[in-house]
Chain A
Amino acid sequence: MNGLEGYIPIVGGAIIDDLRLIADNLKGRIIQHINSTSVGGGVAEILNRMVPLLKELGVDTRWDLIKGGEQFFNVTKKFHNALHGRPQEITSHDFEIFRETSRQNIEEVNIYGDIVFIHDPQPVALIKKKSNNKWLWRCHVDVSEPDSRVWSFLMDFIRQYDAAVFSAPAFSQRLPFRQFLISPSIDPQSDKNKELPREVIDNVLEKYGILKDKPIITQISRFDRLKDPVGVIEAYLQVKKYIDCQLILAGGTASDDPEGLDVLAEVKEKASRDKDIHVLLLPQDDIAVNALQRASTVIMQKSLREGFGLTVAEALWKAKPVVASNVGGIPLQIKHKYSGLLCRSVQGAAFAIKQLLNSPAYAKKLGENGREHIRNNFLITRHLRDYMLLFLSLYHDADVVYL
């Protein structure tokens, strides 16, 4: 994979020059990222690219993981759902499991960063090791309506941080410290987003037994109830009454998501009565995801809640028309009727898909607008810039900082 130079044809050389200018101001500081998984899910995906690029810019960046057993990740999955506002039964024993694993991690994880960058709730308790360094908490989930018990429990840790980072304005709360808005991003050079030769796309379709004889509607997502895969099937079935089409539901499961296989089984059951529904489990096959997106006529992201919804940015980058829920960070990526269509229900999703399938010129225009919107705002080069400015902001209080 190409380094920074590879982004010049995509965003221009001056953007890369700016990144180098900012990075010069971070020389001598160590940035330590900590999260709970190195594979699966958006956080690991971003860090896998972000860390080497920051290093190439000369910013000493490292990445460590906490450890946790099945019980711990079951609890943190419940926390995740509760923060998204889904009712969960969380017992005092669950909180104790979280505390106990956290205690072990506090003992075992070596903290050496000048800036310690904690991602999501799983490692949040490491703040107990705070000394005279700076600590950031990066919230990747939609906490616009969090379960108050879980939020309150986590706030005991979070309030000790120097600053927090959220992905959308609606996620911000009145907090006793600074909070920043930084959207995540996609990497246009990654296997998931780079241009693909026609034969690679065709080979993937052939591998999964998908013919190009009818329009393809696709949702790429982890098998997670919050991504509403069943709602996607229901919307597809409504469209199918009028337009002959096929549906691809494809995704993997993250190692910190124990619910994934249950959801996959439910989806397979729901899909079993229609041969045009393809349910594909694709553990870490980014080329296949890329190919399926590129082969699609319309891409969906019908999430009920969404930390950000990077699959929307991936689809728009490929200039695909997208139908997505008006939740989380999705409206930041899609301006309704301008760079995609937003929906709030199964019926709304079905109507939007029919519009796009019946009006290819309109669908094409939405996709083209979407690609430019992503180029300007949601590529990893913008994300690198925001993170470096964030690090610098920890050492400056003013609204205008002269470097």
Chain B
Amino acid sequence: MTAAAAAQRLGEVRAWWHVARPPKPLATRLEAFYVVALGVGTIGLLLYGTASSALAAWITPSTLAEWGPSVVLLALLVAARWGSWQGPVVFARPDVAFLLGGPLPRAGLVTPRLRWALIRGALAGAAVGAFVLVGLSGRGRSVELGSAIGLLAGLALCGVFAIPLAWAVQCSARVSRRLGQAAPALVLIAAGMVALARSGPTGRDVVLWSGPWGWAVQPVAGVARGRWLAGLVLLALATVAACVLALRRAAACATERHALRADARDGASASLRALDVRSAQLAMRGVESRPGRRRRSGVRVPQHAALAVPWRDLSATLRVPGRLAEAAVLGGAGSALALTHADHFPSAMIAALLTYLGVARLLEPLRLEVDVPATTRTLLVRPYGRVLVAHIAVALGWVGLVTAVVAVPCALAGSIVVRPGALVVVALASLPTIALCAALSARRGGRMPLEVLLFASSGPDPSGGGVVVLLWLVAWPAGAALIAGGATHLATTAHGVTSAVLLAVIAPFTLASVLRGSQPG
């Protein structure tokens, strides 16, 4: 079939769809846009003053120059990783069977969706730019019009640039795998860029010229107009080149990869409609999973029955060493923050939250237990609740070790905020609380109970249930942040060590008894 004949047939299929399922009239589509614009405009005007002054504390030309390139780099990384699970072009499952499975030009089917994705990328980037400008112009500051336009253009171009990256990842399993392997290194590079930018004008210049992530923020990062214009030109050239390459490779994504993404999207949408976050997560994870024989962990089978669950967790964890590294990074960052800034209560809470995220990374076996509780009934003799409690042992041990290791350089550098010995003890004693909160959150299986849904829909919540749902979602992380953050903060006060130790010891007993009482289903 010639290209012209194929294109003609695609036109005929589009014409058929147009007749069989006419699109909504333009006025109807614009009405939805109008309602959203009106809502955003009204709320934006109401909140502008508050948001502007709150953002102004964080977003300044100086912080943008130091943090901006790293944040943009991480945003590009996240966008590219999005291609591993979904990506910019996702068809419906029947589309994969009937259209991609038919003799229609693949590029003709993909290109319009890819173009829309590029437009959405530009709009998202510009929206982020507007958000940044609100902060920059707060507290009586002003931003020069040219710089403001430059920032909007830079971030819009970055938004566009992200789409070809995600498309490249979507098209190729190898690229996707390599990106997954490179992600931790890229995160470290982003952290290094912050340190370099803060080291002085030369370091800042290096970071701002290190790539598209730096070029995009130059207009408001204290760079001279002529130079940031050159940066924007470079960014525009890189973006155009990436887009041309992506559009040329519109037919490069195999049917199999489209089908996997379509299945995942259908599964995740259905799960999210039922507010079942865990099933949605599993549906997405299925896209890049590689089933097959697993290598042995090498951990010896324990002789004592009580060690069966920790052995199972350790074996599972060692098969995915990336999780151990993530838990170490998050737990280590949390511990370091707690030891050096626990006198500041919000910092202590953030520290506890970071540690919570680290522990949660290692609770996947517990989540699997909750996914299929029948396994516990069949394979394990011990009561379900006790099995769940036993699942925290490995996570607790690993993050505890990381905390102890992190405490050494902090102590040697003299950066532990007060009474080093006492604070380290309290930080370690807080870990069971954090782990139990994470386990109690994981126990819910990411599925919202019917009672919560009913209360959300019929209760007194003025937001129509949104606040109730949000509270349900953040309950355990917030609990961990309050209790563990509170304990470490108390330990920094004059007579708070005893109270802190008491809090760190009593809370786990209470939480463990709640977890022990868990019933399957």
Answer yes or no: do A and B interact: no
